[in-house]
Amino acid sequence: MYDNWEELEESIKGCNKCKLCTNRSNIVFGDGNKKADIMFIGEGPGADEDKQGIPFVGKAGQLMNKAFEGIGIKREEVYIANIVKCRPPSNRVPEEDEAISCLNYLRNQVILVKPKIIVLLGSTALKNILGKEYGITSMRGKWIERKGILYMPTWHPAALLRDENKKLEFWKDLKQVKIKMNIG
| Contact of 32 with 5, CB cutoff 8 Å | no
The CATH number of whichever domain residue 173 belongs to comes to 3.40.470.10
* Average predicted confidence (pLDDT) for the chain: 96
Phi, psi of 3 (to 5 degrees): -90, -10
Note the pLDDT tens digit of each residue in 142-158.
Answer: 999 999 999 999 999 99
Which residue segment(s) compose the domain that 86 sits in? 5-183
Number of folded domains that form the chain: 1
Note the pLDDT of residue 183: 62
d(CA 138, CA 174): 17
Note the pLDDT of residue 182: 82
Res 49 pLDDT > 60: yes
Note the pLDDT tens digit of each residue in 50-66.
Answer: 999 999 999 999 999 99
What is the pTM for the complete model shown?
Answer: 0.96
